[in-house]
Amino acid sequence: MPHVEPNKQLWLGRVLDEHEELRRSLDEFRGFLSSPRPDVGATGCHTWASECATRLVELHEKLFRHFRFEEYEGMLHDLSEAHPRVIPQVEEIEREHPEMLESLRNIVGDVLVYSEGLPPEDSRIRRRITEVLDRLVSHEQREMDLIQHAFYRDIGAGD
């Protein structure tokens, strides 16, 4: 790894660790979603919905903490300060944080309705979850691209 300033070392290691943990969580969630969802009111409906809601809430909590860390403990600020030309990309990344969290909360609501044996307002639960997971993967990749570009440029390897 190239030489990294001490304040960047603090957040870089944590961001990399959290991204790895998120990847594992997303893979496990996708595994869960690959199994058929019981029909509304059918046997197993409540169990599936309870497990799904638990996974959604856990993912929401991980993302909430991860996003707050990125926003308030230096990463996004450091990137913007060191590389002003990436400010629009950093701002876009920041705007996506509350959108993804809200999407997860909305899905949790529909999953809880489903767990009661009632049809949710939007029955495409698995598709909606998959879409959020896909957005999250893309989001985290764009973050990593910004970080890598910043460090690559910092060491002058592109000269």
- Round the average pLDDT of the chain to a whole number and report it: 85
Between 79 and 158, name the one with better pLDDT.
79
pLDDT for 38 equals 86
pLDDT for 6 equals 46
User: How far apart are alpha carbons 49 and 131 in whole angstroms?
Assistant: 18
pLDDT in tens, 57-93: 999 999 999 999 888 877 888 888 888 888 899 999 9
pLDDT for 3 equals 41
Q: How confident is the model at residue 94 (pLDDT cuts 50, 70, 90)?
A: very high
- Average pLDDT, stretch 131-144? 94
User: How far apart are alpha carbons 137 and 99 in whole angstroms?
Assistant: 14
Tokens 């698995």 belong to which residue? 126
Q: Which amino acid is present at 103?
A: S
Share of the chain above pLDDT 70, in %: 87
User: How far apart are alpha carbons 45 and 30 in whole angstroms?
Assistant: 18
pLDDT for 2 equals 41
pLDDT in tens, 20-44: 999 999 999 999 999 888 888 888 8
Is the distance from CB of 74 to CB of 11 less than 8 angstroms? Answer: yes
pLDDT for 40 equals 83
pLDDT for 23 equals 94
